[in-house]
Amino acid sequence: MFDISFPELVVVGVIALLVLGPDRLPGALRTLGLWVGRMSRTFSALKTEIEREIGMDEIRRQLHNEAVMDELKRIERDVRGPTSNGSGHAEVKDPEPPQVEATPAQVSATSNDTRPHA
């Protein structure tokens, strides 16, 4: 976080000793340590809470995505129905032409046309 080396700490300590004096310096350092500890715990708790909220949002997003995907699969199954051929398109069969039986008169007329007249 901060790049403070040992010589810099010594300079800060000497200035604190000169300003506060030897009687009040231990109490001031104790108070400073308590404040630093409280701030550290507060930041740690805040960080944990934010990470928990981010994790909860991610879980909610995943659950929502899974629900949407399940709904899409259900709709796809409903649209495809039982005549699906597995290619993603419903199978459409060409209707066969209706079978028409020829009457005996039509058969004789057709057979007479192809025969030469005698």
pLDDT interval class at 56 (50, 70, 90): confident
pLDDT at 39 over 90: yes
Bin 50: left if φ > 0, else alpha if -120 < ψ < 50, else beta.
alpha
Per-residue pLDDT for 29 more than 60? Answer: yes
pTM of the model: 0.43
Considering the chain, what percentage of its residues have pLDDT values greater than 70?
67
What is the structure's pLDDT at 70?
Answer: 92
53/39 Cα distance (integer angstroms):
21
